[in-house]
Amino acid sequence: MVIPRLALKNLLGAGLRTWLNVVVLSFAFVAIIGLQGIYDGMNNQAVHALTDAEYGGGQYWQENYDPYEPLSLPDAHAPLPEALIGLKNEGLAAPVLIVQGTIYPSGRIQPVLIKGIDPAQSLLSIPTHFLAREDVDLPALIGTRMAKNAGLKKGDTITVRWRDAQGTFDARDAHIVEIMRTTAQSVDRGQIWVPLKKIQKLARMPNEASLVVLAQDTEPLKEGLAGWDFKNLEFLLKDITELVEAKTIGGSIMYVILLLLAMLAIFNTQVLSIFRRRKEMGTLMALGFTRPKVIQLFTLEGAMHGVLAAVVAAIYGTPLLVLFAKKGWAMPDNVDSYGFAIGDTLLPTYGAGLIIGTTVLVLVVTTIVSFLPTRKIAKLKPTDALRGRMS
Amino acid sequence: MENSFMIKTTELVKIYSMGWKKLAALDHVSLNFAKAEFTGVVGPSGSGKTTLLNIIGSLDTPTEGSANVLGKKVEDLSNRQAAALRNQGIGFIFQTFNLLPVYTVFENVEFPLLLLGLSADERKEKVIQALEWVNLGERAKSKPAQLSGGECQRVAIARAVVKKPAIILADEPTANLDAENSHNILKTMEELNRVLKTTFIFATHDEKVISYIRRKITLVDGKVAKDEAVNPTRAEGIG
């Protein structure tokens, strides 16, 4: 216990120099956790928004369906297999039929995806119950982005045209029954939602679907699904995960800079300490310290900056980050164009893994940085140290 | 008789390389030191006094020859063994006191005992006793920066004697002190030598120190020029 005790004494005895390092390092702590929490929160929000509004617990895709290949859509429909009908009847699956079409808002032509969904479904957080209206021929639900883009508002009527299963063009007037607000752009932009039965009938695709959304936490079926491929969440969320990772790497640069600054301060302090405290090292050796013990002492002293910084960071960082996590960060309107399903407020997430991981990272890096200059001590002769010289 | 010597140096040579030039700090020095000696190694600057003390204190090793200290050959000791010898058997007193600035007086004196692994109660008892020897009981909670030079050196003495080592090596212990403090310090050391039977070896050219020692070894250019008993009236340590 001699070394930790002496290290702590020396550290606290160094006064302002220690506290400057500790404060800088604590900034790095709070900034790393704060920034990483923002990315984690962004990721969580995006994943939740997409799973709630679009992906559920995974999707079965008709084998021709490819969301990145619009030309595949005319062939991407098939009757539901019995197994999926069973799941649908149990309320564990929601079929979606996707038909390519066009609308004509304000005399313009605009391509859209017409998505048919059961108005009674409750798997996705889309307010499809508005589509249950009987008083209009073709009720349509659109998102705020689509409404803005097409200049549509609730109560408007819009002409919708599509090609049916036989390739014949058909059209109807759709009545906008609701404008929904959703953070998931992928259920909003360039698409209108209509009742599944209606579009199945109008497109001459009875009982058919392009994809089937599975309820969250439902085990996917393994048999009886010929012509349908299951896409799990890992696959479906791949784009958003990669996007978050890319943004995380970009954001990491800032905290790497912060961490480097803090490490530079500690490295500098260590180098100074070793040069200024040679006599002290000599004294310690004269009193019976071996060189490895002196190295341990100086390394521990440096490393304790990290421990103190963690404590200081906890003191002011905890209330700050808790407040931030509760209040969130109001997002400007143009954030929508970033491609993230974030919403109006970004709520950072500070998990135990992030906090423990960051603490361990900072402590390890601080220890390494503290150790590096002390290697000089390994060659230090006690007699030179006592004279205040470096061997 | 050989076994009764605490320290025995045989043909001790220490050569320092100064670039291409070799400098002999010690040149075949053979000396014996018995228990409870109060000895001064004197000589001009560069005569090898500190080098001799460093080798005896296992802080340095000889280039040639042998230094047997408390039954251990300094030249054969590993770093760890040398540190153990210093910790257990030797106390050091330096010209510039070399106190640990962040520790209180009590903690500075306690430090060698921590390394010896003594219990808190044992440490406390020994530190209080050592501080009483040097009349610093009331300054136990002070930091070195709050003490005068004389007080600092008394703390250094307490730190050196607290573990009751067999040998205390004092390198110019009075060089930074005024006459009054020097005499006080020397009296204290003389008293400890008498009470504890500790062997004191001084490296000095201070006349005040020389007036207290009972054996004077004069080094000139790394060689023993004279080895003589002095001050016969001073108290004998042995007894």
Rounded distance between C-alpha atoms, residue A341 and residue A333, angstroms: 12
Q: What is the pLDDT along chain A (391 residues), one digit of tens a residue?
A: 788 988 888 888 878 888 888 888 888 889 888 888 888 888 888 888 889 999 999 999 999 999 888 888 889 999 999 888 999 999 999 999 999 999 998 888 999 999 999 999 999 999 999 999 889 999 999 999 999 999 999 999 999 999 999 889 999 999 999 999 888 888 999 999 999 999 999 999 999 999 999 998 888 887 768 889 999 999 999 988 888 788 778 777 877 887 888 788 888 888 888 888 888 889 999 999 888 999 999 899 888 988 999 999 999 999 999 998 888 888 776 666 666 666 778 889 888 988 898 889 888 988 998 888 888 787 888 888 888 766 5
**What contacts A337, CB < 8 A, 6 or more positions away?**
none
**What contacts A229, CB < 8 A, 6 or more positions away?**
A60, A61, A63
Give the mutation candidate from B102, B161, B168 for the A interface (greatest A CB count, under 10 A): B102
Q: Which of B33, B30, B28 is nearest to B1 (CA)?
A: B33
Q: Would you say how long chain B is, in residues?
A: 239
B112/A386 CB distance under 8 A: no
A382: contact with B, CB 8 A cutoff:
yes
Asked whether A155 and A123 are in contact (CB, 8 A), the reply is: no
* Nearest residue, CB atoms, A286 vs list B59, B79, B96: B59
R_g of chain B, CA atoms, integer Å: 17
- Closest alpha carbon within chain A to B57: A286
- Closest alpha carbon within chain B to A1: B114
* Nearest residue, CB atoms, A288 vs list B102, B103, B115: B115
For residue A390, the model assigns a pLDDT of 61
Chain A hits for B84, Cβ within 8 Å: 288
- How distant is the Cα of B70 from the closest Cα of chain A, in angstroms? 16
Query: What single DSSP character describes residue A221?
Result: P
Rounded distance between C-alpha atoms, residue B42 and residue B205, angstroms: 5
Give the mutation candidate from B98, B155, B162, B167 for the A interface (greatest A CB count, under 10 A): B98
Q: Determine whether A155 is exposed, middle or buried from the number of CB atoms within 10 Å of its CB (0-12, 13-18, 19+).
A: exposed
* Nearest residue, CB atoms, B79 vs list A6, A290, A386: A290
Rounded distance between C-alpha atoms, residue B145 and residue B182, angstroms: 19
Asked whether A98 and A201 are in contact (CB, 8 A), the reply is: no
Write down the domain spans for chain A: 2-52+239-386, 58-231
Report chain A's terminal Cα–Cα distance, integer Å.
29
A93-103 and A211-214 as β-strands: parallel, antiparallel, unpaired?
Answer: antiparallel
For residue A267, the model assigns a pLDDT of 86
What is the reported pTM? 0.72
Q: Among all chains, which residue has been given the structure tokens 């003490």? A: B147
Scanning A194-237, the segments in alpha helix (DSSP H) are: 196-202, 233-236
CATH number attached to the domain at B35-61+78-229: 3.40.50.300
- Please check the confidence at residue B2 and state whether its pLDDT lies above 60: no
- Please check the confidence at residue B75 and state whether its pLDDT lies above 60: yes
**What contacts A34, CB < 8 A, 6 or more positions away?**
A317, A320, A321, A324, A348
- Closest alpha carbon within chain A to B145: A13
Structure confidence at residue B1 as a pLDDT band (50, 70, 90): very low
Give the mutation candidate from A273, A386, A389, A391 for the B interface (greatest B CB count, under 10 A): A386
For residue B237, the model assigns a pLDDT of 47
